[in-house]
Amino acid sequence: MDSAGQDINLNSPNKGLLSDSMTDVPVDTAVAAQAPAVEGLTETEAEELRAELAKVEEEIVTLRQVLAAKERHCGELKRKLGLSALEGLKQNLSRSWHDVQVSNAYKKTQETLSQAGQKTSAALSTVGSAISRKLGDMRNSATFKSFEDRVGTIKSKVVGGRENGGDNLPSPTGSGDRPLPDHIPF
């Protein structure tokens, strides 16, 4: 495989694909061979390093192609199994939530909140009892009894003898005990 035409930029949309022209990172072994040797390296050592570089670049391209093929195959398998990205996310969240629930910090927090809830419930029960007791005391007070008597008096005036089985309220038609006619004009 000739590495001169390979795309080695990991951010490139063409990564792992063979291309006719290299736009991201050009690697030209002929240009590299013409470059002067780094100080301290002999021409032979520099040539060996260039050959090794070309080999490593070729391996990288091959690995990218293999990875791309594996990713496509993985996507096909997931599609056949009916798994989607959303399903994978749901599984990851479920697994993460389970991990959180079994953690010591979560257990301690849960115990603390449970105790706080019990204490709050007891406090609200005490407040409820106190309010109930105060309302009972208020009902037995002279002011409330006076108010209750007044309401009773007003009720008896409005309702009248209905409680005794009679209907002392005037009829809306003003007919008294007479039955209503079948045809009432409007």
Q: Kindly list the domain boundaries of the chain, sorted by start residue.
A: 45-102, 111-151
pLDDT category at 14 given cuts 50, 70, 90 is: low
Q: Is the pLDDT of residue 2 over 90?
A: no
For tokens 């399903």, name the residue: 87
CA-CA distance, 78 to 103, in Å (whole number)? 31
Task: Write out the two tokens for 6.
Answer: 């390979």
pLDDT category at 185 given cuts 50, 70, 90 is: low
Helix (H, G, I), strand (E, B) or coil at 6: strand
Q: Is the pLDDT of residue 3 over 50?
A: no
CA-CA distance, 122 to 8, in Å (whole number)? 68
Dihedral of alpha carbons 81, 82, 86, 91, sign: negative
Report which of residues 24 and 50 the model is more confident about: 50
The predicted model scores a pTM of 0.31
* CB-based contact 21:28 (threshold 8 Å): no
Calculate mean pLDDT across residues 12-21. Answer: 49
CA-CA distance, 149 to 143, in Å (whole number)? 10
